[in-house]
Chain A
Amino acid sequence: MEFLARLLHLQPQTFWMIAKVIIVFAGPLTLAALLTWVERRGSAMIQDRIGPNRALLFGRWRLLGLPQLAADGIKFFLKEDLVTADANKALFWLAPFLAFVPAMMGFAVIPFGRSLVQGGQTYHMSLLEPGNGMGMLYPLAIGSVAVYGILTAAWSSNNKWSILGGMRASAQMVSYELAMSLAVVAIFLRTGGYDPHEIIAHQAVLWNVIPQFFGFLVFFVCMFAETNRLPFDFAEGESEIVAGFHTEYGSMKFALLQLSEYVHIVTAAALIVTLYFGGWQVPFVAAPSVTLSIAAFVLKLVFFCWVFIWIRWTVPRFRFDQLMFMGWKVMLPLSLGNLMVQAFLMYRRG
Chain B
Amino acid sequence: MAVVVKKVELTWVDRTYVIPVLQGMAITMKHFLKQILTRSRKRFTVQYPEWKREVAPGYRGLHELKRFEDGSIKCVACFMCAEACPARCITIEADAFGDLNKTQGFEEKRPAVFRIDMLRCIYCGMCEEACPKDAIWLRGDYEQASYDRLSMQFGKWDLMNTYADKDGKARITQDPTPSIPRNPTSL
Contacts and interface: CB of A to CB of B under 8 A. Distances in A.
Nearest to B44: A48
Nearest to B40: A50
B32 to A, nearest CB: 5
Interface of B: 18, 21, 24-25, 27-29, 31-32, 34-36, 40, 43-45, 47
Given A311-B21, A315-B21, A50 B32 contact: no
A322 to B, nearest CB: 11
A46 B28 CA distance: 6
Interface in A34-59: 42, 44-50
Given A45-B36, A311-B21, A314-B21, A50 B43 contact: yes
Contact of A313 (B21, B28, B40): B28
Nearest to A220: B18
Contacts of B47: 50
Interface in A66-114: none
Contacts of B29: 46, 310
A137 interface: no
A128 interface: no
A45 B35 contact: yes
Interface residues of A, number: 14
A314 B23 CA distance: 10
A292 interface: no
Interface of A: 42, 44-50, 217, 310-311, 313-315
Contacts of B27: 314
A315 B18 contact: no
B25 A310 contact: yes
Contacts of B28: 46, 310, 313-314
A309 B45 CA distance: 22
25 contacts: A44-B35, A45-B31, A45-B36, A46-B28, A46-B29, A46-B31, A46-B35, A47-B31, A48-B31, A48-B34, A48-B43, A48-B44, A48-B45, A50-B40, A50-B43, A50-B45, A217-B18, A310-B29, A310-B32, A313-B28, A314-B21, A314-B24, A314-B25, A314-B27, A315-B24
Given A48-B35, A50-B45, 6 more contacts: A45-B32, A49-B35, A50-B40, A217-B18, A314-B24, A315-B21
Nearest to A316: B24
B31 to A, nearest CB: 5
Nearest to B31: A46
